[in-house]
Amino acid sequence: MYQIQSKASSDAGCAECSDLLATFMQIILQRLTAYAGGQMKTAPPSKPAIYNDFTDYLT
């Protein structure tokens, strides 16, 4: 009886955690695409904005 209850509660917690993680990843993806979209308008067409950001970071 105890094992069944602990299994059910752990599954519920896992589903809740995965939902939270999915929401978190979705927010990050939206931020990244919005940032990349804003950078693409100002960056020269020869190089992607992400490439410029990385080279600026490395130098």
pLDDT, tens digit, for every residue of 4-50?
555 555 555 667 777 888 888 888 888 888 777 776 565 555 655 56
Q: What's residue 1's pLDDT?
A: 46
Confidence of residue 52 (pLDDT cuts 50, 70, 90): low
Q: What is the pTM of this model?
A: 0.38
- Round the CA-based radius of gyration of the chain to a whole number and report it: 21
Cβ partners under 8 Å of residue 36, min gap 6 = 49, 50
